[in-house]
Amino acid sequence: MTHIVRAMSALALAIVVTGAHAQSAPQSIAMLDCTLIDDNAAYNDAETDRIQTARLAMLSGVLRDDLRERALFRVADNAQAGDLIATLKNTQHMNACNGCERRVAKALGASRVGVCWVQKISNLILNMNLRVEDADSGTMLFQRSVDIRGNTDLSWKRGAKALVDLLASDASATR
C-alpha cells in the first residue's frame, strides 16, 4: 500500500512540475527588422544612408539578442521567411502594412510578432517604437516608444534597452 501511495505522489508531482514548466515557457516571436522614418531623407547623402542602414541592422540585432537573453520570447529566425519578407518590404514599410507582419509570424510558426521603427526628426531628436502583436488575432499586446537624444550607436542601443525594459515590466505582453 505504501508503494502505491508513493507512486501516486510521484506521478502527481510530475504532472504539477510539467504543467508549471509548460506554463513558464516563453512565447515565440518573429522580431522584424526595424524601419526608419526619416523626416529629412531628401537631404541625406550616401554616407548618411549607409550609416542609418547599419544602425537599423544593429538595432534589430540588439532587440532580438536582448529578448532572447532575457528569456522574454523564443526569437524566430527570420531567414526562413526571407523571400516573403523581401516581397513585403518592396511594397510597404513593415511597421504600417495592415497585417503583413502577422503573415511573417505565421510563416515562421511564431505566436507573436514584434515591429520596431525609428522616427528621425533630426540628428538630435529621434523616437524609437516597439509594438508586439498576437500573430493570430492581431491584438496589440504592447506598444511603447522612447525618445532618444543624439543619432549615435550608443543612443540607439540605450533606446533599445529601454524598450525591452518596458516590455519586460509588462507581464501581460510576454505571456
For the segment 40-67, the average pLDDT, to the nearest whole number, is 96
pLDDT at position 17 is: 40
* pLDDT tens profile 120-132: 999 999 999 999 9
pLDDT at position 22 is: 44
C-alpha cell at 152: 549615435
pLDDT at 106 over 90: yes
pLDDT at 15 over 80: no
142 touches 164 (CB < 8 A): no
Burial of 23 (0-12, 13-18, 19+ CB in 10 A): exposed
Lowest mean pLDDT among 23-27, 65-69, 119-123: 23-27
32 touches 113 (CB < 8 A): yes
C-alpha cell at 127: 523616437
Burial of 33 (0-12, 13-18, 19+ CB in 10 A): middle
C-alpha cell at 49: 544612408
For the segment 73-86, the average pLDDT, to the nearest whole number, is 96
37 touches 118 (CB < 8 A): yes
Confidence class for position 96, pLDDT limits 50, 70, 90: confident
**Distance between CA atoms of residues 30 and 66, nearest Å:** 14
* pLDDT tens profile 28-42: 999 999 999 999 999
Tally DSSP H helices, then E strands, for the chain.
6, 6
C-alpha cell at 158: 540605450
From residue 23, alpha-carbon distances to 26, 54, 57, 175 in Å are 8, 38, 33, 9
**Residue whose C-alpha cell is 493570430:** 136
Instruction: Note the pTM of the prediction, 2 decimals.
Output: 0.83
**Distance between CA atoms of residues 61 and 53, nearest Å:** 13
128: β partners:
118, 146
For the segment 43-61, the average pLDDT, to the nearest whole number, is 96
Confidence class for position 5, pLDDT limits 50, 70, 90: very low
Confidence class for position 9, pLDDT limits 50, 70, 90: low
From residue 34, alpha-carbon distances to 9, 37, 57 in Å are 50, 10, 7
For the segment 52-74, the average pLDDT, to the nearest whole number, is 97
Domains of the chain: 26-174 (3.40.50.10610)
pLDDT at position 34 is: 97
